[in-house]
Amino acid sequence: MMISRLTITALLFFSLKTGLVAQVTRWQQAVKYTMTIDVDTLSNRFSGKQKLQYFNNSPDKLDKLFYHLYWNAFQPNSSMDVRSRELGKVTINGRAGWDDRVKDRIRNLKDDEIGYQKIKSLKINGIAQPFQYHETILEVILTRPVLPNTSVIIDMEFEAQVPLQIRRSGRDNPQTGVRYSMSQWYPKLCEYDRKGWHPTPYVAREFYGVWGDFDVTINIDPSYKLGGTGVLQDAASIGWGYDANGTPLKSSLTKKRSWHFKAEKVHDFVWAADPDYVHLMKKIPGGTVLHVLYNEKKGDQANDSAWAKVLDAAATVLPFIEQHFGKYPYPQYSFIHGGDGGMEYPMATLVSSPSLGTAFHEWMHSWYQMMLGTDEGSYAWMDEGFTSFAEDLISAFYNKKPAIAEYEEALKQNPENENLKRLMAALPQNHSGAYAGYFQLVRSGLEEPMTTHADHYNTNFAYSVDAYSKGEIFLEQLGYIIGAETRDRLLLEYYNKWRFRHPEPDDFVRLAENLSGLKLDWYQMYWINTTKTIDYSIDSLWEENGQSNIRLKRIGQMPMPIDLELTFKDGHKELHQIPLNVQYGYKPAEAGMGKYVKATPWRWTHPTYVLSFPDKLTNVVKVEIDPSKRMADVDRKNNLLQLNW
């Protein structure tokens, strides 16, 4: 990995051997896990030992520690259970508003189907510590505080029961046929940052973790085949494609086989296991090794081909990803059949099908969650939205067609669909699905500010659109404001400067301001903190004193800079860039704009604006607000005026 002035600050800011912090501007806690578990595949239980070295790199004295015990959510009457059933009482478009994967299934789990994680003992530097359970959170009340700039050794013994597959993790999912999807399987230390502890109960949403090193040994029935986070250390004794492509699983003389994985600079660890897994592997020039593990369907060549395509597609798009979003720094990545849809983890993802869109999306989480590591509960849009933005561009690159092509194909199949025609008229070429989802949310009246914590949305619908679609639009619309090329340079700069540092919205926006030279706090305030919408119209045209005049009107409550394109009878075009006064500057000219004209800024307090230009009005044949359609104007019917003089 190349090291420059910017990227030096991205090297995790700690040494796991010494606990010293190299970060200058923002400290990070650090962890070093060593875990061994012994799995009983008959009872679906396992016992484990965890040695955790915890580095308190903060300036604070810590009197408590908090752990996540995620699987305690899979018990009747848990917070996840009740929350899901309550959301199910909300009806949206005739459907219950709960997550279809959860529904009311948790309350029907039997004793041997529930999940649990229980702590048998916990010692810090050899001294037993008192602790208490808060459902999915373990609170440890320390007998002696952990002082700033020191580290402690935490020894824990625990036991767990693997729940039936409900959400993300579990066993015996009939959809996939996978035996074990082992995510959130160990007691995981909560994150402590400048805002304090983050002991977020496991109710529904995403995660926040401490970066460090993991050394994990899994002892399991020798018929099982595994994949997961990290690099397999005992590949020579395991075989099965880990030592060389296409080798069989080596025989075992012991009752249980040990799988030993190591991973560095990660904040979580996932693994999955099944006796019927097939393993595909490909080494990419430059060193990255890609793995695909999937459940074989005997005689189903289409299934085999689909999973092989995931491997080939990942190899194809990696150079594009690294060119636009930054280098992938880890030695391997695994696409593992399992889970309940698609769920990302360091160096691996669980995917329930060989969908390329899902594979691209989950892999891009390696950038926006595994390396940048934003607090997803508080800022889900910074992970899901940015990841969705990248997924759209990667899919367009791979498929050699933009996102709008999906809608164009649908219209070909149903050319009389007037609703689809109107929708397509409002969608940009790229990220069109995100804009369509956002417009639907606005029409529903269920939108909530993106500052809402992920677990506290009133509906799953509002959360999903805010986190994924509106977050994706945030970046595409930012390109409209500061210029697409500037936005693209920003994403690479963001990766270089902020990876392994848990950035927050202010950090990203400040970087965007520094790179673009424009003030953008207003954009963050309106788009993220409110549900105010964008709606502009062409109000009127007239000539006066040898000047042509076009009056524009702001109907919505969110102000925006305006690209106003004029098309003339002779075929030439002019793009008049009308900046918002509070952005204090102009974006640069973009490719394909035609003649670029800098207009007087529009004061955000004023509902109307008059553009004057020295040409006869009858020479103008078309006036259009935002011809690129990147501005999320909720009513574009009044954005275009065709003039037939």
Contact 558, 532 (CB under 8 A): yes
How far, in Å, are 75, 406, 437, 528 from residue 473 at the CA level? 37, 18, 10, 11
**What confidence score (pLDDT) does residue 520 get?**
98
**What confidence score (pLDDT) does residue 20 get?**
33
**What confidence score (pLDDT) does residue 14 get?**
34
Pairing relation of β-strands 332-337 and 348-351? parallel
Same domain, 519 and 420: yes
Give rounded-to-5 percent helix, strand, coil for the chain.
Answer: 30, 30, 40
Q: Of 529, 558, 574, which marks where a domain is finished? A: 529
**What confidence score (pLDDT) does residue 592 get?**
82
Angle between helices 471-482 and 505-516 (to 10 degrees): 20
One-letter amino acid at 323 equals: Q
Q: Of 487, 508, 529, which marks where a domain is finished? A: 529
**What confidence score (pLDDT) does residue 12 get?**
33
Residue whose C-alpha is closest to residue 338's, from 185, 109, 119: 185
Answer yes or no: is 500 within a domain: yes
Same domain, 432 and 512: yes
CA 489 to CA 505: how far, in whole Å? 18
Answer yes or no: is 294 within a domain: no
The CATH number linked to 541 is 2.60.40
Q: Which domain holds residue 636?
A: 536-642
Tell me the β-bridge partners of 486. none
Answer yes or no: is 553 within a domain: yes
Answer yes or no: is 597 within a domain: yes
Same domain, 455 and 490: yes
**What confidence score (pLDDT) does residue 297 get?**
85
Same domain, 516 and 635: no
How far, in Å, are 481, 484, 490, 517, 610 from residue 589 at the CA level? 11, 10, 17, 14, 22
Same domain, 518 and 547: no
Answer yes or no: is 596 within a domain: yes
3-state secondary structure of 421: helix
Structural domains in the chain (count): 2
Residue whose C-alpha is closest to residue 463's, from 207, 204, 102, 80: 204
Question: CA Rg, the chain, in Å?
Answer: 27
CA dihedral 144, 148, 151, 156 (to 10 degrees): 50
Same domain, 628 and 547: yes
Mean pLDDT in consecutive groups of 10 residues from the start of the chain, 645 residues: 33 34 69 98 98 98 98 98 97 95 98 98 98 98 98 98 98 97 98 97 95 98 98 97 95 96 98 98 93 91 96 98 98 98 98 98 98 97 98 98 96 95 96 98 98 98 98 98 98 97 98 98 98 98 95 98 97 97 97 91 98 96 98 97 94
Residue whose C-alpha is closest to residue 543's, from 534, 553, 551, 533: 551
The CATH number linked to 525 is 1.10.390
Same domain, 541 and 499: no
**What confidence score (pLDDT) does residue 299 get?**
83
**What confidence score (pLDDT) does residue 517 get?**
98
CA 343 to CA 350: how far, in whole Å? 5
Same domain, 522 and 413: yes
Same domain, 517 and 412: yes
Same domain, 518 and 544: no
The dihedral built from the CA positions of residue 413, 415, 420 and 421, taken in this order, carries a sign that is: positive
**What confidence score (pLDDT) does residue 628 get?**
97
**What confidence score (pLDDT) does residue 15 get?**
36
Same domain, 603 and 626: yes
- The encoded tokens of residue 341 equal 């849809």
CA 255 to CA 257: how far, in whole Å? 7
Contact 100, 204 (CB under 8 A): no
Answer yes or no: is 598 within a domain: yes
**What confidence score (pLDDT) does residue 206 get?**
85
Answer yes or no: is 504 within a domain: yes
Tell me the β-bridge partners of 128. 123
Answer yes or no: is 99 within a domain: no
Measured in whole angstroms, how far is the alpha carbon of residue 334 from the centre of its chain?
17
Same domain, 516 and 547: no
Q: Of 467, 502, 529, which marks where a domain is finished? A: 529
**What confidence score (pLDDT) does residue 2 get?**
36
